[in-house]
């Protein structure tokens, strides 16, 4: 599975106008969890869910 780290940005696969920032990554009960910020809201989801529904924004440098 791909590496996800704090500071990574993702774009929604279903709504290209939606973006999120990864705030934290940890393992809980054997499953990787991520805390993300979408707009002004913070949420927690599994890394699997994040990678299935969001696409990583690549650096344009």
The model's pTM: 0.87
Quote the pLDDT of residue 61.
47
Q: How confident is the model at residue 23 (pLDDT cuts 50, 70, 90)?
A: very high
| CB 19, CB 11: distance < 8 Å | yes
pLDDT (mean) for 56-61: 70
- Strands annotated E in 1-61: 9-12, 19-28, 31-38, 41-46, 54-56
pLDDT by residue (tens digit) across 45-55?
999 999 999 99
| CB 35, CB 49: distance < 8 Å | no
**Statement: residue 59 has pLDDT above 70:** no
Take residue 55 and report the two structure tokens written for it.
């696409």
């Amino acid at each position: 599975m791909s590496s996800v780290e704090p500071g990574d940005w993702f774009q929604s696969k279903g709504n290209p106008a939606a973006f999120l920032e990864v705030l934290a990554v940890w393992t809980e009960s054997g499953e990787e969890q991520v805390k993300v910020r979408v707009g002004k809201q913070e949420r927690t989801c599994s890394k699997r869910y994040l990678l299935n529904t969001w696409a990583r924004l690549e650096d344009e440098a």
